[in-house]
Structures are given as C-alpha cells and as structure tokens.
Amino acid sequence: MRVARNRQALYPYLLIAPALLFVILVVLFPVLRALLMSFQNYDLRRPGAIGFIGLTNYAAVAGDPLFRAALVRTLIWVLFGVGLQFVVGFILALLLHQHFAGRGIVRSVSLIPWVTPGVLIGLMWRWIYDGNFGVLNDLLVRLGIIRDFIPFLARKGTAFPSVIATIVWQGIPFFSIMLLAGLQGIPSSLYEAADIDGARPRQKLFYITIPSLRNTIFVTTLLRIIWVANSVDVIYSMTEGGPAYATQTLSVYIFNKASSMNLGYASTMAVFLMLLLSFVAVPYLRSMFRKG
C-alpha cells in the first residue's frame, strides 16, 4: 500500500523527468559552460592556447569601444523597435477589432510576416531598400520626396533606421494578435456605461481600453523586448552589422565574434547581454510565478 502511494507521488516527477533532462543538458549545462568560457582564452583558431585567463576577457570587453557602441545601439534597437511595434500593432489591433466584411481573412493574412523566416524578411527588405533597383527608392522618387536613389543599407546614417523599420514590420503582427485577444476580453458593459456617461472615444481609449489591457501590454512587451534584443537573423541578412558597424547590436556583435571562433570573448559579451536582459526577464518571471 505504502509502495503504491510512493509510486503515485513519484508519478508527476517521472512525467517531467524527460523534459528536465533535456533542459539540463541543452540549457543549464551550456549556460554554466558559457560562464566558464568567459574566464578562458578560448579561440578555436588557436586551440593550443585555450586556458583560464581570469578576468582578462571582462577587462577587454569593458574597454572595447565596439562593445560600448553595440550596447548603446542595442538600447536604441529595443526602444524604437519594440516601441514602434507596440504603437502600430495596437492601432492594427483596434482596427481588426471592428466589425467589417472579410475580417477573418484580413486577420489571418496580417499575421504572415510573423510566420516568415527572419533571414527571408531581411533579404526581402534588403531588395526593397536596394540602392540601384530598389522599389522604395523608385516610389520615393515618383512621389517627389527624393531626387536621387539612396543606398539605404550602405550608408551609415540610413542603415540603422532601415533595419529598425524592418524589425518593426516583423513584430507588428505579434503585438496585434496579443492586444486583439485582450480587446476581445474587455466586457462591453464598460463601454456601454461610458456611453451613458457621455464619454468621448479618446476618453474610452485612455480610461477603459488601455487600463484593461495593462497585463497584456506588460507581458507582451517584456517578451518582445527579449526577442528583439536576441534577434540576429534580420540584421545579419541585411547588413551583417555594417556598414562600418553602424547596425551591429550586441547580439550581432556576439554572433560575429562567435562565427570567427573567438568563443571566450563572445561568451563574456553574452554574459553581459544575459545580465542586461535579466532586468526584463526577472519581472516577467516574477509575474508568471505569482500567477503560477
């Protein structure tokens, strides 16, 4: 009897055991290993020289002007990338919440950017931005906004805003489906009561809609910040971080260093990125834990 009860108590642990094993092997162990590598001289182009070097990598990273520039760029990337995704995604959600013919199809179709591979997104936009045959240049010339074609991705001043516009395009659908689901959950009685009190549309937006969506906005924004900060493929397929590092965010810098096999240095920067993201991840996890 007692054995049977013990087996019962073990049951849930047995069920999560495979998932736990995977997570330990492919996430927790690698994270510890990355921490370890951040204290090592670990360059696969010179495997003979691999060994512990204390805080040398950390000192080098702290003094690396490219790292500092990438850090600032990451903040701008996240601020404008996620900020604009939110604003435009919110507008789209409000529009898709209205009743109109063909709403179902429009809702589905507007999600396509979200299911498109990041690399393809980068390449599609790279072609749109093209300085010789690009359709964006052609449109702007036809509309009389510019006179000569601009090589958007090849020029230092325009490259970064251009890749930010692309990440905004990618992230709009995710925000809009999350916010749309939130909108659908707001009881219509709130709006009816506001109508009786003679509330204006803008008042309804700021006093009913946005407060009701607070939790959705919080969770979605935190998730999105983490994804955008981690994103490599869009920038990499558009510019590889160039021209002259103008689009090199921290994730792209780390990826470039890892690609060139300087894994110790890349790990150190990745540890910095993890610490930076924990400012976002911890509140998110705490809110999930509370909900548990």
Can you name the residues that pair with 43 across neighbouring β-strands? Answer: 262
Distance CA 142, CA 215 (A): 44
Which residue is associated with the tokens 């409000």? 94
Among 60, 75, 124, 140, binds another protein (CB under 8 A): 124
Q: Considering only residues 6 through 35, tell me which ones interact with another protein, judged by CB under 8 A.
A: 9, 11-13, 15-16, 18-20, 22-23, 25-27, 29-31, 33-34
Quick one: which of 48, 65, 144, 292 contacts another protein (CB under 8 A)? 292
Tokens read off for 93: 């959600």
Asked whether position 67 contacts another protein by CB under 8 A, the answer is no
x-or-dash string of contact with another protein, 240-269, rule CB under 8 A = -----------x--xx--xx---x--xx--
How many residues form the binding site for another protein (CB under 8 A)?
95
Instruction: Measure Cα distances from 184 to 103, 160, 181, 221, 292 in Å.
Output: 14, 36, 5, 19, 24
Q: Cβ closer to another protein: 113 or 151?
A: 113
Select the span of 53-61, 63-71, 76-84, 91-99 touching another protein (CB under 8 A).
Answer: 91-99
**Can you read off the two tokens belonging to residue 5?**
């009860």
In angstroms, rounded to a whole number, what is the distance separating the alpha carbons of residues 57 and 101?
60
Spatial separation of the C-alpha atoms in residues 228 and 84, rounded to whole Å: 12
Binding region for another protein (CB under 8 A) out of 56-64, 155-163, 171-179, 202-210: 171-179
